Structure 1
Amino acid sequence: MKIASNSLENSLSNATLPSKHDISNSSNVINHDNAIASEVKGSSIQKSVIWDISTVLSTIFTFSDFKDLIKFNTVCKKWNIVTNPTIHRSLKLFRRNDIQNIAHGESLNKNARVDAEVEQCIANNSKFSCLVKEFKFCNFIPQHRTEQFFNTFKFITSLTILNIGLSYESFISVIKPLAQLEELKLENIGIKTDDGGESNAEPHALPYTLTRLKLNIISLTGNVDLFAQTINSHINLKEFRYLTYDRTGFLEPFNKSYPSLKLLEFDSHRLESDQILLKVIENNNGLNSIKFKLPYISDSILDNINTHLTSLEELSLSTYSDHSVDISESLFKFNQPTSIKKLILRWEYLSSTSLDSILLNCPCLKDIELQLTDDWKNWIDILHSRCLNLQKITYIPWINYYGKERNRFNQEFYNYTFSNNTSQIGNTLVDLTLANFNFNIAKSSYFKDFAKLKSLTFTTPYNFNCCEWNNKLNSEIWSDYRLKEYKCSSTVLIKLEKFEI
């Protein structure tokens, strides 16, 4: 849900413009994302598909004013469930520019207009504040309005702050009222602390209710320690995601046992030492999901994961190709069986021998994503021989081939990997994704040996084959499949679903 412009905004689309008095007294309304409507519009209705009335209702509610949504929400339990996602989604602080122009004219400068818009949003929606659960804060607003806004909408449980700069004081005025906050995302933001005025300030503690925290590229100036102490004050996190260039300070709370933590994601383009990661792994054996993207993966990291994280169910190890260390002659191995069910390896220079050791000790593996190296044929052979229960596979070539070279590689891969398949995977595989592969030379006969395969997905960059395909599935080539989803933007996605017999 987005608190957007009022019902008056709908009349604007019909070229009927209201007076300034009408606009100043109008209330903002909540709009649903277009996602559901687009999904319904783009879906292919097949004879085997049964209409879901909830989807139809959601589409209708998309066009409803907020005051009407509140009424619909109380009709019955089913309508309550359907309207809740729309009502709970994030506020929109500002109305459309054309609405603002009519409301404010040329009399207000930019800062005054921002202040007026936020003031009206608060006034119009404060009585519904308990219904607003999610919010994206991505616009600079005056300090006094920041305090007023978040003190009003204090029932927010999921907050994203992105693409803005804030003073430490402003950041605290955002966080302090949110006593029910469960999820906090800070993405591409700058925090400035006044060394003089705030150097002796006490750090404010994050809400006790916070269980999910994501930090993505944060720029700090001034009294850096003050902000760091505030962020590190959490005590009940279940998920921590940290994407940074070279900072590791926000990992400090996990240097000792942190019992509630279950998921740790750490992405660093420039990591001088992996010692802090080793310490985190050693002290948090309750982790069940690890996702690392680093300049290199050391044997110490792999050994510590295998030794200490006996409950681990998901492991993702990726390296930056521009910083990867050539370890093709090194042997990385697991020395004991794991409980890993999902494995992602985007690891340049990983040898076939190392892959074999890892897969040998993942007997519970059901989902794997592999970024293939030049030795991809050996990798396929190892996968087919070691994995007996795989239900989902994603293949990604390490190199983006172009033109005839791309078609040659794709054809060779299809023939070697899928044609005349006799491995156990043929009896277990349900979902297959081929990323950066050419859809135009694929055909259903390649996958005839996979008896349980239900879903087949191709994803490629736009310039690879979007213009080569007219959004129609060749029924002769794909006689066993129907088109379930098609998207063409920066990435082309073609998702096929196998007909049920």
Structure 2
Amino acid sequence: MPSHTNLLNPFKKNYPSLKKFEYRDEQLEDPQLIINILELNTQLVTLNIELCCWNNALMTTICRHLTILEEFKLVELSIYTQSRIDKTSKFSHSTKIKKLNLCWDMLSPSSLESILLNCPQLEELKIESLRNHLSQEYFTTFNISRPTKIKKLEFGRINLSVSSLNSIFLNCPQLNDLNIRLPVDWKEAIKSVGSKCMDLKHLSIRPINPMQLRDSNGLFLELYQNEFLSSNSIYISTLTSLTLIGFNFSDSRAEYFKNFANLNSITYLEQDRTQYTRFKKEDIVDKEMWPGYRYILIDHKCKFDVKLIKL
């Protein structure tokens, strides 16, 4: 008997105190066991499942039976393939979900739009593609057709078109936390953020896929000089924290951020660790380049982060 069956069978009854259920399985071939558990535990508030096998029956069960679910994370585990067959899945009923995290390569944009329509209480949304080879040409467009309550929005490994970003930002008037990967047309994307996000407090930016970018240093410099120093983007006056992912910290300086009226911290993530091993820790940050800031270094196995905090 498969080990996952032995593990899941004890949950095939109601546990009134069970509010959070998390499960990951790369070998499960049929989600019926999961469906049975969910049907018997309608009191769940948080659901986190990572599976290779999912179908409309599973999504229908979640929507129909978990009527007080507030947080839902679904990760599609699948083997590498160059081809794709879009899967269609919809919520048939309105839900109370406030936090939605979908890491789902084969989900069609129309399905996502349908799911969002049935999450009227949604406050946090994360959409991510597991595989970069699919994210460049697919999932460039999806739209939000009516105003939402979304406050926190994250796009991971997907390159949305500027028209889609415009639609999303216009219908997220309460948005205050944005994590975005710059698309090929990154200048227009930044312009969209700067003109349509009216009250951003936290902004995280990841540059375009390096394979599509000939001159990353040129992009960074242009963003600093033409956007941060020279633009009239609304977020210049509203941001309290800025995170730059994959930007080269050694090419930056405090001067680039002098126009940010309320900025308290700047964080550079995923820095090349050769700098960390080449210099003494106290020499990584040139204090003459960063007057008025203190810094924290966060060491990882392959990378390191630099957080600068305004004094």
Instruction: Normalising by structure 2, report the TM-score.
Output: 0.83
Counterpart code for 2:251? I
Q: What's the offset of the Cα at 1:389?
A: 0.2
Change (3 A) 1:226 1:443: closer
Aligned position for 2:288: 476
Once residues 496 and 341 of structure 1 are traced to their aligned partners in structure 2, the CA distance between those partners, rounded to angstroms, is 25
> Is 2:184 the partner of 1:374?
yes
Counterpart code for 2:228? F
Once residues 436 and 464 of structure 1 are traced to their aligned partners in structure 2, the CA distance between those partners, rounded to angstroms, is 14
Counterpart code for 1:480? G
Aligned position for 1:265: 73
Aligned position for 2:162: 352
* Deviation string, structure 1 residues 335-383 (Cα, Å, up to 9, x no partner): 2211110111235342111111111111110000001111111100010
Once residues 65 and 310 of structure 2 are traced to their aligned partners in structure 1, the CA distance between those partners, rounded to angstroms, is 47
Q: What's the offset of the Cα at 1:498?
A: 0.5
Say what the alpha-carbon RMSD is for the aligned residues: 3.1
Counterpart code for 1:386? K
Change (3 A) 1:379 1:458: same
Q: What's the offset of the Cα at 1:255?
A: 4.0
Aligned position for 1:247: 54
Once residues 7 and 62 of structure 2 are traced to their aligned partners in structure 1, the CA distance between those partners, rounded to angstroms, is 27
Residues 26, 52 of structure 2: 8 Å contact kept: no
> Is 2:134 the partner of 1:323?
yes
> Is 2:263 the partner of 1:453?
yes
Change (3 A) 1:206 1:429: same
Q: How does 1:115-154 map to 2 (within 5 A)?
A: none
Aligned position for 2:81: none
Change (3 A) 1:464 1:359: farther
* Deviation string, structure 1 residues 91-122 (Cα, Å, up to 9, x no partner): xxxxxxxxxxxxxxxxxxxxxxxxxxxxxxxx
Higher radius of gyration, 1 or 2: 1
Once residues 120 and 8 of structure 2 are traced to their aligned partners in structure 1, the CA distance between those partners, rounded to angstroms, is 39
Figure out how many residues of one structure are paired with residues of the other and give that number. 301
Among residues 456, 471, 487, which one is paired with 2:299 in the alignment?
487
Q: What's the offset of the Cα at 1:403?
A: 12
Residues 338, 361 of structure 1: 8 Å contact kept: yes
Once residues 384 and 308 of structure 1 are traced to their aligned partners in structure 2, the CA distance between those partners, rounded to angstroms, is 29
Among residues 33, 42, 53, which one is paired with 1:235 in the alignment?
42
Q: How does 1:82-161 map to 2 (within 5 A)?
A: none
Change (3 A) 1:445 1:211: same
Q: Which has the higher helix share?
A: 1
Residues 20, 46 of structure 2: 8 Å contact kept: yes
Change (3 A) 1:312 1:204: closer
Change (3 A) 1:324 1:205: same
Aligned position for 2:152: 342
Counterpart code for 2:108? S
Aligned position for 1:301: 111
Q: Which structure is higher in RCO with an 8 Å CA cutoff and minimum separation 6? A: 2
Q: What's the offset of the Cα at 1:419?
A: 1.6
Instruction: Normalising by structure 1, report the TM-score.
Output: 0.54
Change (3 A) 1:230 1:404: closer
Q: What's the offset of the Cα at 1:453?
A: 0.5
* Deviation string, structure 1 residues 309-342 (Cα, Å, up to 9, x no partner): 22211111222322347358x7532222111101
Counterpart code for 2:253? K
Residues 296, 325 of structure 1: 8 Å contact kept: no
Residues 69, 95 of structure 2: 8 Å contact kept: no
Once residues 336 and 470 of structure 1 are traced to their aligned partners in structure 2, the CA distance between those partners, rounded to angstroms, is 52
Matched residue SS, 1:344: strand
Once residues 217 and 416 of structure 1 are traced to their aligned partners in structure 2, the CA distance between those partners, rounded to angstroms, is 47
Matched residue SS, 2:210: coil
Residues 269, 295 of structure 1: 8 Å contact kept: no
Residues 421, 449 of structure 1: 8 Å contact kept: no
Residue identity over aligned pairs, in percent, reads 23
> Is 2:23 the partner of 1:215?
yes
Change (3 A) 1:216 1:169: closer
Change (3 A) 1:406 1:349: closer
* Deviation string, structure 1 residues 58-86 (Cα, Å, up to 9, x no partner): xxxxxxxxxxxxxxxxxxxxxxxxxxxxx
Among residues 202, 205, 208, which one is paired with 1:398 in the alignment?
208
Change (3 A) 1:234 1:347: same
